[in-house]
Structure 1
């Protein structure tokens, strides 16, 4: 079903992304993701049976699945429906983002492109905490390069990449004040990890935050201990004197 004409509003550019803005939502023309702006979505689509799956990416979801949307956190698939937007008809996952109760529609055919994935497993939680406490921290001294790398990691959808951002920015914050943008990124990285792990292991956010903080302290302790450890040096053998092929000249005797 095509969206009614009164809902079509304008096409504008927000930042570097082209976005089609409608009455109650906006459509990113590059990723195809639809964002609800008023938390009051009007359903102009055709509901699809809850057991129906659309095939488009390498990952498929069903109604009720808990998924992770990059840089937004935990979402729940509430509906799968077909819509025609800007002349194109395709299936959409209707997600409710738990953190702020907003609505996001992700095209079924672009699941891989936006990085939508399932929440990690219990085994992956243990791997995550091992990574948080391993003492390995990558950090650019150059602010511009560091911010770009960390932004790419946050958009990747991988919780392990987000953990790298959390480690590096937390470590950096102990020696200098972070910029406003990096401070916001640090808070976001910590929130994304705590909210996902809390949902997986079914423990409170406060409990998980304590585990995260202890893992980070362990990481910094290991790093400091490694840096302070004396480095083993290999003793080099003294160069052996090479015998000259020419016999030494004898001093002339005075006559």
Structure 2
């Protein structure tokens, strides 16, 4: 690792390093629609006590619907893991505004940009996720994406669509098509306005 890899490139990156997410533990119940960072929206299908390594803890079992994955999360660590409820209608409007907004500043170096975006996704914050999806969509239209960024974009868009699916009461395909339409419109508007990525 070089010195350049450990030093933030911009003031924005320094601010990002100092962000502390408020950790909130919510008492989730069976049937609750939730979002688990890195995986997307799912539903709590089981809540039970388990004895693991001699320690009894209560666990949530979450079925991630867009990929049929099942995840177990200790209830006491749910907030720390970023587990939260699916967004409401007011939040959907704010997310759509983020998707339609200008591109935010990102590092020029692709591996720093990749880490910057990955860290934003890891927060579990819907606005950070929407910002990453928008920025990568515009970059894809403008300059194209590296293989790693393309995979990140596909995955981030899938996570965002899975939550929008619940929030807008659409099918997964409808939610993805809706996002694609918004992102294409944003990229076209920015291109028409002469906004370019460095």
Q: Same fold (TM over 0.5)?
A: yes
Structure of larger gyration radius: 1
Residue 90 in 1 paired to residue 82 in 2?
no
TM-score, reference length from structure 2: 0.78
Question: For 2:78, what is the secondary structure of its paired residue?
Answer: helix
Residue 213 in 1 paired to residue 180 in 2?
yes
1:178 aligned partner: 145
1:240 aligned partner: none
Contact 1:198 1:204 in 2 (8 A): yes
Alignment of 1:10-21 (within 5 A): none
Question: For 1:215, what is the secondary structure of its paired residue?
Answer: helix
Write the distance in 2 (CA, Å) between the matches of 1:192 and 1:68.
9
CA 217–100 in structure 1, closer or farther in 2 if over 3 Å, else same: closer
Contact 2:36 2:82 in 1 (8 A): yes
Question: For 1:113, what is the secondary structure of its paired residue?
Answer: coil
> RMSD in angstroms over aligned alpha carbons?
2.1
CA 57–211 in structure 1, closer or farther in 2 if over 3 Å, else same: closer
1:148 aligned partner: 115
Residue ranges of structure 1 left out of the alignment (5+ in a row): 1-55, 229-255
1:253 aligned partner: none
Contact 2:138 2:186 in 1 (8 A): no
Higher relative contact order (CA 8 A, sep 6+): 2
Write the distance in 1 (CA, Å) between the matches of 2:147 and 2:188.
27
2:100 aligned residue (100, 118, 133): 133
Count of aligned residue pairs for this structure pair = 173
Question: For 1:75, what is the secondary structure of its paired residue?
Answer: strand
Residue 115 in 1 paired to residue 86 in 2?
no
**More displaced stretch, 61-70 vs 205-214:** 205-214
**How far 1:210 moved relative to its partner?**
3.4
**How far 1:118 moved relative to its partner?**
0.5
CA 213–83 in structure 1, closer or farther in 2 if over 3 Å, else same: same
Question: For 1:84, what is the secondary structure of its paired residue?
Answer: strand
Residue ranges of structure 2 left out of the alignment (5+ in a row): 1-22
Contact 2:141 2:187 in 1 (8 A): no
User: Is the strand fraction higher in 1 or 2?
Assistant: 1
TM-score, reference length from structure 1: 0.62
**How far 1:116 moved relative to its partner?**
0.4
CA 124–63 in structure 1, closer or farther in 2 if over 3 Å, else same: same
**How far 1:205 moved relative to its partner?**
3.2
